[in-house]
Amino acid sequence: MVKAALALVFVALLSSPASAQKGASYPVKVHVSASRIGYDCAVSRGNTACESVQQLTAVVDGVKYELESETILPRGVVALGDYQAKLLEDEQKPTHEFKRAYELMFPDGSTRKFRVIGQTE
């Protein structure tokens, strides 16, 4: 029993630096306050095609955004709470319009790209 407990402690110590190192490369704090499955629809040659997407209402570094996953057919609703992220795209235009995308890291270490589709006060 003591050997099993020591083995668990050893495994935890070995995995912690890797997790901490990966978390360090995701410096942006994201707080998800709403999560839903939405639809992204496009019209082409008179036909409308819609795809399921994940949509989040989140505060990213103090700014409120609507985010949309680029993953089609989301696996489920993202749980509310705090996540780490990194900025993937940030294009500013002279008209004050912008394009921005983040990669969120989930507690299991998996990641998903989200693009900003709206901003609120």
Write out pLDDT tens, residues 55-96. 999 999 999 999 999 776 667 889 999 999 999 999 999 999
The per-residue pLDDT for 42 is: 85
69 φ, ψ to 5°? Answer: -75, 145
pTM over 0.85: no
Contact assessment for residue 64 and residue 119, using Cβ atoms and an 8 Å cutoff: yes
The residue-averaged pLDDT of 113-117 equals 96
Per domain, the residue ranges of the chain are 27-120
Q: How far apart are CA 60 and CA 28, in angstroms?
A: 7
pLDDT for res 49: 86
